[in-house]
Structure 1
Amino acid sequence: MPLIRNIEFFFPEDGQANSIFYSETRCIASLYSRLLPNFKTDEFKGIMINCVSSFDILDKLDSGLFITFDYKSVITEIDMREFLSLPTDQRKKEYTLKMMQKPLEQVAEELNWDISIFKDIYQKIIALNFENKWVYSNKRSPNRKYSSSIVCEQEVSYIDVYFEIKNRNGEVLGRERIMREPHTDEQHLLNKLGKIEWTHNHKVTFSDLDYKTIYIITFIEKDTPEKLFWKYEQLII
């Protein structure tokens, strides 16, 4: 049986506005999607929140626009002008969460899911201060004393990617931003990322998927954090 893995937004009235809307809501839609438990359904792998300026306009739109293969469709009203005019990314995150909660609870009722799960996710996102951080990959050093991670921080307008090194106690020794992905749909980023390789107990590399760019961290942990030796290199092949 399929699992609900993804939540997306669609604004069928205006293609240009939809492109911006999809991009700027992806941060919170992605975070909400990751916090969902394993909901099994007979046919759906995602939820499509179709947004319209007014329910009155539905008769003027092609009903086929609201059908997405393998996705449970739900319709809600939105003031697109208000959303696009919000002055900060934080306000857009807050607006997105409020906007999606009601239709998601509607889907929960229709599919006989526990609505309290969705209410809990809503509160958890607020507790996280709307920050969408996730680990793409991690790997321990040969001597098992360190771990390296590729950490992604998904925002309204971009996704930042960091190379992060921790010691055995879980303390972050250092982190380096290695790229900024302008497409907020994480799939664009995932299509670019390669893998972590430790070449020494104190040297680790990460490459893009085609091995055209290699990111290298060399470090030596000293007796005090301020004496940490840290060197970052980027090689274009």
Structure 2
Amino acid sequence: MYLREMHLHVPYPSNERLDIINKYMSEYNCTYEQALRMDSDRNWKGVIAKRFFLETNCIVLMFLRLLGKYKNEDTIKIVVHCVKSLKGIGGTTMGICLIEQIVDYNAFFSKNDLEKKQFTLDVIKEAISKIARDKNWDISPFEQVYKRIIELEYTNHWTWKKKLNSPNRLFTAEVYLEHEIKDIKIYIIIRNKLGDIIKRQLIISEMPDDYIYILHLGKLKWLSNNEVQLVNKYNTMHWKVQVES
């Protein structure tokens, strides 16, 4: 197996939400279970949990991209439950390794973007250290990634696939992504034969969810000697950029 995914998740803490649950029980004359589900659906999953997932995703995906294929016996995905107190949940089932870690996710939201990236890397580092110890993994590839992320100043920018030559071979085009805390921006960059950038055009700004933005990355192709186009995976959307004459 190869480690391919990681997810930092904040589970719904029902014991911390009793005031809201009791309020819903009174307002809607419903059971505890119904009020709990209402609060979880309305105020947690799509708000706090989703925001935490999206804002940690920048460094999570940077970590996985720099790590590459890490071969191991039983883990495809790591899910880190970020909690305020441990419940003893964990283990690996069907390729998914679940681990609990004490994390102050409320403090996370008060940090600036750089601090959020540093916070996320610290969470990943601590979780991987525990997993590697339990599974007897070689920790050195992970340590190299930690150092590389710091060297790159937590900047998750990269070129998707390879540069593509124009038909007349005077230009190259590439799809360049800038993944930050709040969004991911996708550019088409055109270079001349010397490698100098002669055009850099923002074509997409999307929420930082890889399941969403990956759909935009279908195929890059030159339509002529001076016009290049990115097509999404379903061939339903097209973004064109021309070389200025």
Q: Report the TM-score range of the alignment, normalised by the length of the smaller protein.
A: 0.7 to 0.9
Kindly tell me: are residues 67 and 41 of structure 1, through their superposed partners in 2, closer, same or farther at Cα, counting changes over 3 Å?
closer
Counterpart contact for 1:5–1:34, Cα < 8 Å: no
1:129-170 superposed Cα distances (whole Å, 9 cap, x missing partner): 111112234422123332211111111111101011122333
How far apart, CA to CA, are the structure 2 residues paired with 1:81 and 1:207?
A: 39
Where 1:153 maps in the other structure, the secondary structure is: strand
In the alignment, does 2:143 pair up with 1:123? no
Where 1:200 maps in the other structure, the secondary structure is: coil
Report the aligned-residue RMSD.
2.1
**Runs of 4+ more than 6 Å apart:** none
Of all paired residues, the percent bearing the same amino acid is 28
Which of residues 99, 121, 124 is equivalent to 1:74? 99
How far apart, CA to CA, are the structure 2 residues paired with 1:36 and 1:99?
A: 16
Counterpart contact for 1:25–1:156, Cα < 8 Å: yes
How far apart, CA to CA, are the structure 2 residues paired with 1:83 and 1:13?
A: 16
Show the counterpart of 2:135.
111
- Give, in angstroms, the shift of residue 120 of structure 1: 1.8
TM-score where L is the length of structure 2: 0.78
Provide structure 1 residue ranges, at least 5 long, that are not aligned to the other structure.
221-228, 230-237
In the alignment, does 2:67 pair up with 1:36? yes
In the alignment, does 2:54 pair up with 1:23? yes
In the alignment, does 2:214 pair up with 1:190? yes
Once structures 1 and 2 are overlaid, which stretch shifts more, 31-40 or 135-144?
135-144
Provide structure 2 residue ranges, at least 5 long, that are not aligned to the other structure.
14-43
- Give, in angstroms, the shift of residue 210 of structure 1: 4.2
TM-score where L is the length of structure 1: 0.81
How far apart, CA to CA, are the structure 1 residues paired with 2:105 and 2:213?
A: 27
The structure richer in strand per residue is 1
Kindly tell me: are residues 18 and 67 of structure 1, through their superposed partners in 2, closer, same or farther at Cα, counting changes over 3 Å?
farther
Between the two proteins, the alignment pairs up a number of residues equal to 212
- Give, in angstroms, the shift of residue 28 of structure 1: 0.3
The structure richer in helix per residue is 2
Where 1:142 maps in the other structure, the secondary structure is: coil
Counterpart contact for 2:74–2:92, Cα < 8 Å: no
Where 1:113 maps in the other structure, the secondary structure is: coil
Where 1:13 maps in the other structure, the secondary structure is: coil
Show the counterpart of 1:8.
7
1:71-120 superposed Cα distances (whole Å, 9 cap, x missing partner): 2222211011111111x212111111112211112212222222222222
